[in-house]
Structure 1
Amino acid sequence: MSDVVLMGIVNVTPDSFSDGGRWLDPEAAIAHGLELVAEGAGILDVGGESTRPGAAPVAADEEARRVVPVIAGLVAAGTHAQLSVDTTKATVAAAALDAGATYVNDVTALRGDPALAGLVADRGADCCLMHMQGEPRTMQREPRYDDVVDDVRAFLEARVAFAVGEGIAEARISVDPGIGFGKTLAHNLELLARLDALVALGFPVVVGTSRKSFLGAITGREDPAARVPATIAANVLAYTRGARVFRVHDVAPARDALLVAAATLRPHG
C-alpha cells in the first residue's frame, strides 16, 4: 500500500468534537502519537486549536504551548513518521517547524495569516490546502454552492496557484476538499462521489471524514467513537476515486480496510 498515507490525528485540545481533552497532557499526546505510528500512520497531524463547527479561537501563544512540546517529544522519541502541525497561524507553524515538524496543514488554505505562505516556502515544508466555506464559528450556517465539486475545485486550483506564486514547490502541495467544513450532508456525499474531479488537479488529495457528523446523520450514531465503520466506508470509497492521504483518528482499522481495497483494485496476474 505504498501509494496510501495514513495521517493520524493528535488533538492537543480541550474541545475537539471527538476526543476533546483526552490528549491535552503532552506526555499522553506523545504516547498516543507513537501508538498511531505503530498502527501504520505515516504522518502525525498535531493540532492545538479545534476547528469543529462553532469552535472558539485560540491565541497563538496558547496554541504553540500545546503543540510544540508534543512535536518535540515525538522527535525525541525517534518517530519515523512525518510530523505535521494543524494550524492557521505563522507564529505557531514557525515554532512547530523549529521543533521538528515538516508539514503545515492549514484549513484556510493560506488565507488566514498573510505570513504563512512565505514561511512554508522559506522552510521547504510540505503543506495541505483545504477548502472551507466561511470559518469554524459560522461555516455550517446554511452553506450554499452553485455546484459544490466545481466550486471546490476552482477554489483549490486558485489556492495552489497562490501557493506556487509565493514560492512553495508544487511537489510539496496536497489539497483537501474539506469534508464537513461549510458543507451539508448532500455536499459531502457529492464531493466523495466525484472526488476524481479534484484528483484530476494533479495533487495528492487528503480526505478527512473521520468520525464526522455527516456519518452520524447517515448511520444514526450520535457518539463520534461509534462512527469508525462509517469512516472506513467513506475512506475506501474515496480511495476508489483516487484519494491517497487519509486523516483519521483510528489508524489500525483504516489501514486494514485500505490494504484490502488496494489489493483488490491492483492489477492481478
Structure 2
Amino acid sequence: MIMELTLDFLIKEMEKVGAHFDSFSIFLRKSRIIPLKIFDITSPTANILKQEMLSIGGDVVVHKNVVNCGINKNDVILLGTKKHYDILIKKLENINYFDIPKVYNLLKNFFEKDKVSYIESPWKRKIIFDRTLIMGIINVTPDSFYANSRKINLEEILNTAKYMIENKVDIIDIGGQSTRPGSDPVDEEEEINRVIPAVKIIRENFSNIFISVDTYRARVAEKAIELGADMINDISGFRFDDNLVKVISEYKIPYVLMHMKGTPKDMQINPYYDDVIKEIYEFFLERLNYAEGYRVDLDKVIIDPGIGFGKRYEDNLEILARITEFKSLKKPILIGASRKSFIGKVLGDIPPEERLEGTLGVTALCALKDVDIVRVHDVKENKRVIDVIEAIKCIRSS
C-alpha cells in the first residue's frame, strides 16, 4: 500500500513511524517546495541563481531568453525547500556582483521576519492572532448597501454591540459614511456626529471590547481614539487626508491599510489590472514605506486587499484564491467580503439580503487559509463557521 500524506499531518505521521523527535525539524525543512517569485532582476543574476539552485537540488524558472542574455531584466521563480534556501542564502552571502546582493537581502528578510502574534492598542487592549478573528460591522449610516447593518439611534447601536459581544465578536468596526460603489462622501462634521456618540456609548458600556473606527479622516480618527477607540480602519491607505498618518503615528494606534483603486464614487467604473496581485502587493509596499517615513509603528499595521473596492468580479475571486501570497508581507491580513456583489453574482445576481450562505463560504475559505480577520455583518453565523474550521485545524497540530 502507498499513500500521499497531507503535509499538515506530517509530524503526526512521523510519530507513528517512530522517528526521533529531534529529527522532525530536519524533515520538515525538506518536505515542502516553496515557490518564491523575485521581480525585476538581470539575466546574469538569473543564470547564477539557476546554476546555484540546480547544484543543490532546487531549480529556478526563468525566461526562455535568459540563458543567452537575450533579455535585460525579468522575473524569476525559485523552487526549493527550506533546506535549499538555507544553503542558497549562505552561498549568496559573499557574492557582490549583478543583482545577487538584492536577492540575498530579499531571501534573508523573507525567512527571518515573522508576522506579529498580537497587536495592542494605546489602551492596552489586545487582539491575538491565534485563529481567524471576527470583526463585526456597525454602520451608523442611513445608506450602507446592506440595510440590516444600518444602526441610527444609540439604543440600536448599543443593542447590536451587546448582541455581537454575546456571540463572541473580537472587534467591533463602526463606520459613519457609506463607501458603497457610486457613493458621495458625507460632510466631516456629519461623520463626527454619527461616529463619536457610537464609540462613546459602546466604550462606556463595554470596557474590554476592541473598537475599530472605519474612517479616512484625521479629525474623526483622533476624536474616536480619545474616547477609547483601539484601531483605525482606513479604506484610502492614507491617500484622502494627509493628516491621518500623523494621527496614527502620534497615538501609535493599530491601523488597517486597505487597497482601493480610485474613490468610492468612481472605483467601479471600468477598473482594470494587468496583474491584480502584483499591483496590490506593490501598493502595500509603497504605502508601508510611506507610513514608515512618518514613524508609524509597522508592527501595528494590518493589510486588507480591498475586496469590491475598484475590483472586477474576477479580481475578487483571484484575490481570495491567492490570499496566502500576501502573507509574504509578514502582516496580519483582513478580508471584508461580507454580502458583497461578487457573491451575489456567483449565486445568480441575488441581492445583499440573500448572500449570507455565500459569505459563510468565503469565511470558511479564509479560516482554512489562516486569514487573520474577517469583517462581517452576521457575527453569530460566521463565528460558528470559524469554530468548526478551527476545530478541524486543531486536529492537525494535536
Where 2:216 maps in the other structure, the secondary structure is coil
* Correspondence 1:45 to 2:173: yes
Determine the C-alpha separation between the residues in 2 that align with 1:26 and 1:164.
Answer: 37
Q: 2:185 aligns with which of 46, 57, 60?
A: 57
Quote the residue 1:169 is aligned against. Answer: 297
Q: 1:92 aligns with which of 213, 220, 226?
A: 220
The structural deviation recorded for 1:258 is: 1.1
Quote the residue 1:148 is aligned against. Answer: 276
Counting matched residue pairs gives 269
Quote the residue 2:115 is aligned against. Answer: none
* One-letter amino acid of the counterpart of residue 140, structure 1: Q
Determine the C-alpha separation between the residues in 2 that align with 1:226 and 1:200.
Answer: 35
Quote the residue 1:35 is aligned against. Answer: 163
Quote the residue 2:120 is aligned against. Answer: none
Alignment of 1:1-269 (within 5 A): 2-19=130-147, 22-220=150-348, 222-266=350-394, 267-269=396-398
Where 1:200 maps in the other structure, the secondary structure is helix
**Which gives a bigger RCO, structure 1 or 2 (Cα 8 Å, sep 6+)?**
1
Determine the C-alpha separation between the residues in 1 that align with 2:386 and 2:222.
Answer: 33
The structural deviation recorded for 1:221 is: 5.3
The structural deviation recorded for 1:19 is: 2.1
CA displacement 1:225-244 (0-9 Å, x = unmatched): 22111111112212333311
Determine the C-alpha separation between the residues in 2 that align with 1:45 and 1:245.
Answer: 12
Where 1:129 maps in the other structure, the secondary structure is strand
Contact residue 131 and residue 372 of structure 2 kept, 8 A: yes
The structural deviation recorded for 1:263 is: 1.9
Determine the C-alpha separation between the residues in 2 that align with 1:27 and 1:171.
Answer: 36
Where 1:135 maps in the other structure, the secondary structure is coil
* One-letter amino acid of the counterpart of residue 311, structure 2: K
* One-letter amino acid of the counterpart of residue 120, structure 1: I
The structural deviation recorded for 1:121 is: 1.1
Indicate how the Cα distance of structure 1 residues 21 and 238 shifts in structure 2: closer, same or farther if over 3 A, else same.
Answer: closer
Determine the C-alpha separation between the residues in 2 that align with 1:109 and 1:197.
Answer: 20
What is the TM-score of this pair, normalised by structure 2? 0.65
Determine the C-alpha separation between the residues in 1 that align with 2:148 and 2:132.
Answer: 27
Indicate how the Cα distance of structure 1 residues 21 and 175 shifts in structure 2: closer, same or farther if over 3 A, else same.
Answer: closer
Contact residue 89 and residue 112 of structure 1 kept, 8 A: yes
Worse-superposed segment, 21-30 or 94-103: 21-30
Determine the C-alpha separation between the residues in 2 that align with 1:143 and 1:67.
Answer: 30
Determine the C-alpha separation between the residues in 1 that align with 2:379 and 2:349.
Answer: 20
Q: Is the radius of gyration larger for structure 1 or structure 2? A: 2
The structural deviation recorded for 1:163 is: 1.5
The structural deviation recorded for 1:87 is: 0.4
What is the TM-score of this pair, normalised by structure 1? 0.96
Aligned-CA RMSD value: 1.5
Determine the C-alpha separation between the residues in 2 that align with 1:210 and 1:61.
Answer: 28
Q: Percent same amino acid at aligned positions? A: 35
Contact residue 144 and residue 150 of structure 2 kept, 8 A: no
Contact residue 137 and residue 149 of structure 2 kept, 8 A: no
Quote the residue 2:30 is aligned against. Answer: none
Determine the C-alpha separation between the residues in 2 that align with 1:156 and 1:252.
Answer: 31
The structural deviation recorded for 1:268 is: 4.5
Worse-superposed segment, 80-89 or 186-195: 80-89
* One-letter amino acid of the counterpart of residue 82, structure 1: F
The structural deviation recorded for 1:20 is: 6.7
Listed as ranges, the gaps of 5+ residues in structure 2 are 1-128
Where 1:246 maps in the other structure, the secondary structure is strand
The structural deviation recorded for 1:223 is: 2.6
* One-letter amino acid of the counterpart of residue 12, structure 1: V
Determine the C-alpha separation between the residues in 1 that align with 2:215 and 2:166.
Answer: 25
CA displacement 1:120-156 (0-9 Å, x = unmatched): 1111110000000010010001110111111111111
The structural deviation recorded for 1:249 is: 0.3
Where 2:387 maps in the other structure, the secondary structure is helix
The structural deviation recorded for 1:26 is: 2.2
Determine the C-alpha separation between the residues in 2 that align with 1:207 and 1:200.
Answer: 16
